[in-house]
Structure formats: C-alpha cells, structure tokens
Amino acid sequence: MLIIMTSVIVSAITAKIVATYYFKKVDGYVKEMCKMTIKSNENTLATLHRLQKNSSQEE
C-alpha cells in the first residue's frame, strides 16, 4: 500500500512539473504571437493612413 501511495505522489509531482514547463513554453509562444500581431496591425494602419492621405491629396 505504501508503494502505491508513493507512486501516486511521485506521479502527481511529475505531472505538475511537466505541466508547468509546457505552460511556460506555450505562454512564451502566445506572447510572441501577440507581439507579431500588434506589429502587423500597426503596419496595416500605417499603410491605410498613407493610402488615405494619398487619396485625399489626389482629389
């Protein structure tokens, strides 16, 4: 019975360590994707502003 309880505890600790490791990796990936999305949105807005400015100058 002691061996089973020890096995359960070790398994739970190992699962927590592995989950924490992968959540940190995924969190870093998500943060990087958010930064890339923000940069892309800023570039798109700058392009739209330039196009709008050029369009109003032609009129």
Residue 16 lies in a domain: no
pTM for the whole structure: 0.62
Residue 44 lies in a domain: yes
Domain limits for position 36 = 24-59
Helices (H), 1-59: 2-58
Higher pLDDT, 54 or 7: 7
Domains in the chain, number: 1
Residue 41 lies in a domain: yes
Residue 7 lies in a domain: no
Whole-angstrom distance, CA of residue 56 vs CA of residue 37: 28
Residue 8 lies in a domain: no
Please determine, for residue 58, whether its predicted confidence score (pLDDT) is greater than 80: no
Please determine, for residue 31, whether its predicted confidence score (pLDDT) is greater than 70: yes
Residue 54 lies in a domain: yes
Question: Mean pLDDT of all residues in the chain?
Answer: 93
Residue 9 lies in a domain: no
DSSP state of 59: -
Confidence grade of residue 30 (pLDDT, cut at 50, 70, 90):
very high
Question: What number is the average pLDDT over the span 10-21?
Answer: 96
